[in-house]
Structure 1
Amino acid sequence: MTIAQSLPLVESHVNPEIIFPEGEFWSDEPPLESNLHLQQIILLIQCLEWWWREREDYFAAGNLTIYYSPHQKKSEFFRGPDFFVVLGTNPNPNRRSWVIWREEGKYPNLIIEILSD
């Protein structure tokens, strides 16, 4: 028996007529508030990696920008979450951000924001 249940993946399709910007999208996140904040993010990632050590179909990260729109960088103000998980994807550890339109339209399944001072 497991505590966590498998959740159905939400199918999302990217409109092929939309032209998205080229190039690498780096995370625009500011430095973390404190060492405790960093330790909490690391703990979340390590616990999930241990719990799902047999799985290779998810991506979990902390303090990375999520780009929801190609116009986000120019005109909209977004802050990436402290921690997020995307199911049904490649666990590529070299991602510098999560770019929705480059990830087959997949949005994070779980987002956690850690409270700080």
Structure 2
Amino acid sequence: MLVKTSKEIESITEIDEEVWKPPLPPTDLVFDDEEVLESNRHRLNINALIRSVQQAFVGRNDFFTGGNMFIYYSSAQVRNQDYKGPDFFVVLN
């Protein structure tokens, strides 16, 4: 049985990080549409919807739910201002 020392493990980790570096996201994306939420109650409702979906899909790992975020399909849409900023959304895989 072979046991790797911490130095061997360290060097493997360093190599892996050098081989694969995740692409950096664009830095010129719109992050604010200057529209404020209607009220705190509005935000509480968004949170309730998110929690409801998470509870309904408990045990699944093929979905994402969020709120008050911009959704981009391509960087070209940013230039055309063709993006959505829904209050609540669910993405299914």
Q: State the TM-score bracket (shorter-chain normalisation).
A: 0.5 to 0.7
Amino acid at match of 2:80: S
- 3-state secondary structure, aligned to 1:66: coil
**Structure 1 or 2: more strand by fraction:** 1
State which structure, 1 or 2, has the greater radius of gyration over its C-alpha atoms: 2
Where do 5+ consecutive residues of structure 1 fail to align?
A: 1-21, 89-117
- Residues 36 and 59 (structure 1), Cα distance of their counterparts in 2 relative to 1, 3 Å cut: same
Superposed displacement of residue 69, structure 1: 3.1
Structure 1 counterpart of 2:57, one-letter code: W
Q: TM-score, normalised by structure 2?
A: 0.58
Shift of the 43–69 alpha-carbon distance from structure 1 to 2, 3 Å rule, reads same
More helix, by proportion: 2
> 2:92: which partner in 1?
87
Partner of 2:49: 44
Q: Name the counterpart of 1:115.
A: none
Aligned residue-pair number: 67
> How far is 1:52 from its partner?
1.1
Secondary structure in structure 2 of the residue aligned to 1:49: helix
Counterpart-to-counterpart distance in 1, 2:48 and 2:92: 19
**What pairs with 1:15-34 in structure 2 (closer than 5 Å)?**
23-24=25-26, 28-30=31-33, 31-34=36-39
Kindly, what percent of the aligned residue pairs are identical?
39
* Runs of 4+, deviation exceeding 4 Å: 24-27
Distance 1:27 1:53, change over 3 A: farther
Q: Distance in 1 between matches of 2:69 and 2:30?
A: 5
Greater relative contact order (CA < 8 Å, ≥ 6 in sequence): 1
Q: Find the aligned partners of 2:32 and 2:45 in 1 and give their Cα distance.
A: 17
For residues 62 and 68 of structure 1, the distance between their equivalents in structure 2, rounded to whole angstroms, comes to: 16
Q: Tell me, yes or no, if structure 1 residue 61 matches structure 2 residue 66.
A: yes
- Segments of 5+ residues of structure 2 without an aligned counterpart are 1-23
